[in-house]
Chain A
Amino acid sequence: KAGVTQTPRYLIKTRGQQVTLSCSPISGHRSVSWYQQTPGQGLQFLFEYFSETQRNKGNFPGRFSGRQFSNSRSEMNVSTLELGDSALYLCASSDPQGGNTEAFFGQGTRLTVV
């Protein structure tokens, strides 16, 4: 069974640009959560999507958005990039209604804003 796949693994963008990151969950998992990891703020919850609907949201500005497709793949978008958006972005997938109590994380996308 393939794990959680995040693409691309590395990304360099210029301040002011926008970026889209992709997360393909484990087959059958309908919940996808996104996290931002930085040395200064640590791991912070961005949002969760379940069955194409945003179910929970963290405390991030509106520049951070996401969506989920019918095949459960999820994308997150960051518009008007700032230097402080440089981070490792992690997604995790789970199947809470399937009796599985574990969420699985991908390897992350390392975003560098210059």
Chain B
Amino acid sequence: AQSVTQPDIHITVSEGASLELRCNYSYGATPYLFWYVQSPGQGLQLLLKYFSGDTLVQGIKGFEAEFKRSQSSFNLRKPSVHWSDAAEYFCAVGAQAGTASKLTFGTGTRLQVTL
């Protein structure tokens, strides 16, 4: 069975500081990996995805993530956080590209940004 672990429930960073959100997955085959962001009362917005190829993927809003198969990790990074980045971030693993079917999500990491 597939699973996703986000070990940090809540992270606080200062505006302008760097950010790394951790994600570890368990999946039997080649995983399709995603990072989503959710603002309060809103749906999920895709930040970036990894299907194959270059293990460092770039996303929207200046985010990037690195796929490390040996560590079963897909950590999200941003070099300089903005106050508007405060939200909840979800890592997810799935079996298919181009569909939201049967995604397994982590429990999320709530990011707080201090000014």
Q: Is B103 an interface residue (CB 8 A)?
A: yes
Closest to A49 in B: B101
The A/B interface has a contact count, at CB < 8 Å, of 72
Interface size on B, residues (CB 8 A): 24
Q: Do A43 and B90 touch (CB < 8 A)?
A: yes
List A96-114 residues whose CB lies under 8 Å from chain B: 96, 98-108, 110
Interface SS of B by simple majority: loop
Q: Do A43 and B101 touch (CB < 8 A)?
A: no
Write out the residue numbers on chain A whose beta carbons fall within 8 Å of the beta carbon of B49.
101-102
A96 touches which one: B45, B90, B99, B104 (CB < 8 A)? B99
Closest to B46 in A: A102
Q: Could you tell me which B residues sit within 8 Å of A by CB distance? A: 36, 41-46, 49, 51, 90, 92, 96-108
Q: Could you tell me which A residues sit within 8 Å of B by CB distance? A: 4, 6, 31, 33, 35, 42-43, 45, 48, 55-56, 58, 90, 92-96, 98-108, 110
- Pull 22 A–B residue pairs with CB atoms less than 8 Å apart, ordered by A: A4-B43, A33-B99, A33-B101, A43-B103, A43-B105, A45-B103, A48-B99, A48-B100, A48-B102, A55-B101, A58-B102, A90-B43, A92-B44, A92-B100, A94-B98, A95-B98, A96-B99, A101-B51, A103-B99, A105-B36, A105-B45, A108-B43
